[in-house]
Chain A
């Protein structure tokens, strides 16, 4: 037996591919080289461009230091875009977390028709962002908006006088609300211009972002709830924890890590998206609904100012770095437990 085994082992040692030290890097290298070339290099190029006055048509420009960053920082459109990016992200993620929490708890146990309802709930995430947003372009149309039709027409057949706008106004048209809540009130004679009025357009954009991320967060939440071992649930039951107590002391802490994952991804998806605002309002009316991404596109591509455009998009970097650090921390904690 030994006589047969020996030559084979020697042959194997000669074969470079058989050696772990060589095989590992050989398998990883192509992917790493590709990523360095197509993510690392452009990222460095973006940083370089942001310090120059490069215009479209040339890859280089004169070095201008932090002038692009400073100039944009003072630009009112940029300031709005920055504020909007934060506003859209924070508000939509709050809506998403609450909605996904409710939905995931409802969808976790089997019931009749769950498969179909889950499919409906998932649709917005599966559909391409740009195409879903075009659907909203029609839903929020200036003249033929179905939202407006539904709110200002009598919904009860035979003149039952069920007007949704009356219910909406009962809540929103109150003098004690601050202005940005009162805009929710609906005048049946001149229905809201969803994409034509700054505040309403912002609300519409937040709505579309929440609509698109909610299904994603829901499936992640479901995975998180499903991962809580039944022993923990049983132990909680034996200890007499029920209802809210169980939720706050058992379910919530155990779900927190996965909720964080959903939130971090949600933040990345929202802050770095361009399609929603580009299609819904294109930053308008009067550049009031831009995000950093669309303003960078307008500056860098439409106005051909590469340097300032790169500087605008690089203002996203701190957010992404923060998310990355949190993810790393989270990953390490997941390894320990």
Chain B
């Protein structure tokens, strides 16, 4: 009987506690973002409720009008867009070539490219910071546009290679027989079918850019050039007087946007990490 009851509770008994713990910080960010100043700092109140003040938009308005949050968002989008463009330009042809055109050495090259994804920014940021200074790019978001493709290109190439392998070569062969050139077949047949894969690369390249912390915190020292991760983490945390309400609003908004994107493209993302071997 007991086993039956456990089975009836089944997945909820495990998933619900985990979901509560894992999602709690975001619930807490939302609560904090809407709390008024007296509510936030009154230890007598139950923190899970609104006691002294009713929920307020004040923190969010403050975030948008009195901080550089919108500038950081703009910088992030700009950096993200340029990096996505560079990444697609390099990774699409490379991924296609590795999937189709090369033999044995192509396999080793593919593995080599994947391994470079394992070399982390935390290993390269010191020499990179010197190079950026030599190039006169320090303290500018252009530095990030140049450096970010160093980790997005390997990942995107790997992802696209897996994707192109799933497209039957017969499709291109048919186009070639119909008189199309190889480049033409690529442009008119392969890329249109690969649109979902390309979109996936766009989403994950962009989210890697939003996530990046080490380079952004190393290269950039003026507030107006920062991306949102570093801007919120450094500028909104001032000494010991934190603007907790606006700070939490600033962490919650980008997180939720990215989470929705991720959830939509989750399955393709898994395929990328497992090399397509486990689909």
Contacts and interface: CB of A to CB of B under 8 A. Distances in A.
B106 A136 contact: no
B111 interface: yes
B82 interface: no
A256 interface: no
Interface stretch (B53-61, B166-174, B177-185, B194-202): B177-185
B254 A306 contact: no
Contacts of B251: 127, 131-132, 134-135
Contacts of A121: 15, 18-19, 22-23
Nearest to B41: A144
Given A121-B19, A126-B259, A135 B25 contact: yes
Nearest to A131: B251
B95 to A, nearest CB: 8
B43 to A, nearest CB: 7
B124 to A, nearest CB: 4
Contact of B15 (A103, A125, A153, A300): A103
B22 A120 contact: yes
A261 interface: yes
A249 B116 CA distance: 36
B274 interface: yes
Interface residues of A, number: 102
Contacts of A226: 278
Interface string A295-320: 01100110000100110011011001
Contacts of B124: 39, 42-43, 46
B232 A130 contact: yes
B111 to A, nearest CB: 6
A177 interface: no
A320 B116 CA distance: 10
B41 to A, nearest CB: 7
A107 B15 contact: yes
B255 A132 contact: yes
Nearest to A143: B43
Contact of B270 (A15, A219, A317): A219
A302 to B, nearest CB: 10
A323 B121 CA distance: 16
A77 interface: no
A42 B135 CA distance: 14
B256 to A, nearest CB: 8
Interface SS of A by simple majority: helix
Nearest to A15: B181
B5 to A, nearest CB: 16
Nearest to A38: B150
Contact of A123 (B22, B94, B134): B22
Contacts of A122: 259, 262-263, 266
Interface in B1-59: 10-16, 18-19, 21-26, 28-29, 32, 40-41, 43, 46-47
Interface in B264-279: 266, 269-271, 273-275, 277-279
Given A32-B109, A220-B274, A258-B274, A120 B43 contact: no
B94 A17 contact: no
A109 B13 CA distance: 14
Contact of B97 (A15, A28, A56, A131): A28
Given A17-B182, A34-B90, A227 B278 contact: yes
Interface stretch (A168-176, A180-188, A270-278): A270-278
Interface stretch (A159-167, A197-205, A231-239, A327-335): A327-335
Contacts, number: 296
Contacts of A227: 278-279
A15 B182 CA distance: 10
Nearest to A268: B118
Nearest to A212: B22
A27 interface: yes
A316 B122 contact: yes
A38 B143 CA distance: 12
A149 B46 CA distance: 8
B129 A301 contact: yes
A273 B41 CA distance: 32
Given A135-B29, A278-B217, A313 B47 contact: no
A131 B232 contact: yes
B91 interface: yes
Contacts of A42: 124, 127-128, 131
B147 A28 contact: no
A129 B213 contact: yes
Contact of A296 (B96, B122, B146, B213): B122
Interface in A1-60: 8, 12, 15, 17-18, 20, 23-25, 27-28, 30-32, 34-35, 38-40, 42-43, 45-46, 49, 56, 59
Name the residue in A28, A122, A132, A224 with the highest tally of chain B Cβ atoms < 10 Å from its Cβ. Answer: A28
A300 B18 contact: no
A296 to B, nearest CB: 7
B120 A268 contact: yes
B258 A31 contact: no
Given A131-B255, A134-B233, 6 more contacts: A17-B183, A23-B97, A28-B102, A39-B124, A43-B119, A130-B233
22 contacts: A17-B183, A24-B106, A27-B93, A27-B94, A31-B90, A49-B127, A114-B15, A120-B22, A123-B255, A127-B258, A128-B213, A130-B211, A135-B248, A144-B40, A144-B41, A223-B271, A223-B278, A227-B279, A274-B214, A275-B214, A300-B126, A309-B126
Q: Which 3 pairs from chain A and chain B are nearest by CB? A: A127-B255, A272-B120, A31-B94
